[in-house]
Amino acid sequence: MINIAIIEDEKKEQELLKEFFKKLSENLNEKIALKVFNNGKEFLFNLEFGIFDLVLMDIELSSDINGIEVSEKLREIDSEVVLVFMTNLSQYAIEGYKVKAVDYIVKPISYYDFSNRMTSIFNNINTKKVQKVLIQSNGVKVVLLVKDIFFVEVLNHSLIYHTKNGDFMCRGSLNSSEKELRDYHFSLCNSCFLVNLAYVESVDGYNAIVHGEKLLISHPKRKKFLIDLSGYLGQ
């Protein structure tokens, strides 16, 4: 799934882009989720790090904040998202490089040009896409990078994500977290801890050292945990 934000104040252009993305989704067999914003303020109000993979920004927005200014604020919040400009005048697109725009599309937009550019961008997104987990912690939506999670701990009816950026607690079950992370080299060492195998430093009997923390390996989980660890290490 590729999550895309379109910031465009012309209804005709909005409908054209929706039609183009629908056709592209069918041609590439790629799932696409579109969110259309009429102006920059609306987009920024709803913006959080990591929720979009691609942002298509109209430079000449008719509101009191133009596409360049919106993009500058975007980069303060999300430095990773792929940014593409849409403009009537190609010389304006030079401004895009200041905010790390990867491309620009000159209006009027043809499907042929759109398809070629988006196909290339989609390939790069799918190749480089950072895996993320979205949780609700203390009433705030938090995006965690999977690679930054050391292990997940269940405590009563809450989960604690131990990460490079600290600990984050949310409601949930370890079973649901395991399903979400099973494709990213996570394994249960017991019924309370789901471990990122990349951070296992050593195993001694029924203890695993995970990023400096000693975690108990239960007897029922030990065999599978060691198999998963060996598979991750390629042994």
Q: Whole-prediction pTM value?
A: 0.60
Split at pLDDT 50, 70, 90, the class of 129 is low
**Is the per-residue pLDDT at 150 higher than 60?**
yes
More confident residue, 235 or 198: 198
Question: SS3 letters for the chain?
Answer: CEEEEEECCCHHHHHHHHHHHHHHHHHHCCCEEEEEECCHHHHHHHCCCCCCCEEEEECCCCCCCCHHHHHHHHHHHCCCCEEEEEECCHHHHHHHHHHCEEEEEECCCCHHHHHHHHHHHHHHHHHHCCCEEEEEECCEEEEEEHHHEEEEEEECCEEEEEECCEEEEEECCHHHHHHHHHHHCEEEEECCEEEEHHHEEEEECCEEEECCEEEECCHHHHHHHHHHHHHHHCC
Are 46 and 78 within 8 A, CB to CB? no
What domains can you pick out in the chain, each with its CATH number?
Answer: 2-128 (3.40.50.2300), 140-233 (2.40.50.1020)
Q: What is the mean pLDDT of the chain?
A: 90
Give residue-wise pLDDT tens across range 50-97: 789 999 999 888 777 888 899 999 998 888 889 999 887 666 656 666
